[in-house]
Structure 1
Amino acid sequence: MPGESANQREKLRALIGGHSILRAQELRKGGIAGVTIQRALADGDLIRIGRGLYQDPHAEIDSGLSLAEVAKRVPKGVIAMTSALAFHGLTDQMPRKTWVAIGVSDWSPISGIPPVRIVRFADKYLDQGVELHQISGVEVPIYSAAKTLADMFRNGRLVDRSIAVEGLRAALEERKASPGEIAEAARVGGAWRIMRPYLEALTFNG
């Protein structure tokens, strides 16, 4: 019926108006029928940006959009490692996949767009230093600069040590984290023994 269609489209506009990115599950929970989604896509009122991910075509695009998309795909994940380092402006390295930390027994997402690289953290490391950032209308959990550095040094087999050292130098020079904050994050993050000589050398030589 025309009335139903109009009501559905109004509901859809209300939903996407408050969020730049929506998951298919969120649309269904909002009472939006599949046929309404398909018509909105055909009319250009909605854009499919990934598997089960939709975007308001009029939304202002943030440079960190891929992080917001990943946060929707992996609700329990936290942006980590090189991806978090890049978010904080502490490396020029732009990983082809977005690094996401999840728990040891958490569900790992299937491959999709944007691609993700999963790293599993023990519970004692997973919940440390999580910051919430608004990106394209999505609340994205990202590890703090100090926590990220601790993770980079602790997981030396996953990333080149030179990236961690350069990130540490940049964090100190740009004052993204103080030596004390970095040292504390390294201690609780199981990386102090490895990071200490680098931090002391950069601090004393700085």
Structure 2
Amino acid sequence: MGRESLPATFTTAMARARGVHPRDLYAWRDDGRVVELSRGVFRRADAPPAGYPDLLAVAYRSPVAIVCCRSAAAFHDLSDEISPAVQIAVPTRHRPPRIAYPPTAVFRFEASTFELGLSAVEAAPGEWVRIYDPARTVVDLMRLRGRLGDDVAYGALQHYLRRRDARPAGLLKLASALDVRGPMQRALDVALAQ
């Protein structure tokens, strides 16, 4: 079975299920026919380039995860900084993945609100990764401002309010669902008064 029978991005388990011996898989990696994106996640060298290979690798390592916080803010142009690690959320009762490369930070979000604001990004042609939308990202940064920093939260809010699709009322509704309405309301009042 040749690597041409494999999808553009695949895991070791997917390759084995198609009859590829690990010896062959690692030989392909060593001679450059496949690229290892993360432990056990590969991409064919002849596949179209992935726009977001780190997000793609993390999604294959933890399919339940959703890209969040600083990583989502960078993707949605809500921040000028690049996150040093891919930040993902998993439901509270889900075992957090241990991913050394790409560097990954895991947050545990309440299962009942886990998929609020869920969106997707095409990380590679035809391959989608779960990510929180801009409004959910702003609200999460406000919720986690004690951990991630006030400047990150308020900066993301400022960037969000400059967007054509900004909906402050939608932010407040989402903030209520995520139990951070008070801080969000105060931050919005200050931001909109300027």
Q: TM-score, normalised by structure 2?
A: 0.91
Alignment of 1:33-182 (within 5 A): 33-137=21-125, 138-182=127-171
- The Cα RMSD (Å) is 1.7
Report the 3-state secondary structure (helix = DSSP H, G, I; strand = E; otherwise coil) of the residue aligned with 2:36: strand
Per-residue deviation, residues 93-126 of structure 1 (Å, max 9, x unmatched): 2121111101112122224210111111111231
Q: How far off its partner does 1:45 sit?
A: 1.8
Larger Rg belongs to: 1
Q: 2:93, 2:111 within 8 Å by CA — same for their partners in 1?
A: no
Q: 2:71, 2:86 within 8 Å by CA — same for their partners in 1?
A: yes
Q: How far off its partner does 1:42 sit?
A: 3.9
- Residue identity over aligned pairs, in percent, reads 22
Supply the distance in 2 between the matched residues of 1:204 and 1:185 (Cα, whole angstroms).
Answer: 21
Q: 1:132, 1:140 within 8 Å by CA — same for their partners in 2?
A: yes
Q: TM-score, normalised by structure 1?
A: 0.86
Report the 3-state secondary structure (helix = DSSP H, G, I; strand = E; otherwise coil) of the residue aligned with 2:122: strand
Q: How far off its partner does 1:165 sit?
A: 0.7
Residue number among 4, 27, 30 corresponding to 1:13 in the alignment: 4
Matched, 1:195 2:192: no
Question: After the TM superposition, which parts of structure 1 deviate over 4 Å for at least 4 consecutive aligned residues?
Answer: none
The runs of 5 or more residues in structure 2 that have no matched partner are none
State which drifts further: 154-163 or 32-41.
32-41
For these two proteins, the number of residue pairs brought into alignment is: 193
Per-residue deviation, residues 68-99 of structure 1 (Å, max 9, x unmatched): 11111111111011111111011012121111
Supply the distance in 2 between the matched residues of 1:73 and 1:23 (Cα, whole angstroms).
Answer: 9
Supply the distance in 2 between the matched residues of 1:105 and 1:114 (Cα, whole angstroms).
Answer: 23
Q: How far off its partner does 1:176 sit?
A: 4.5
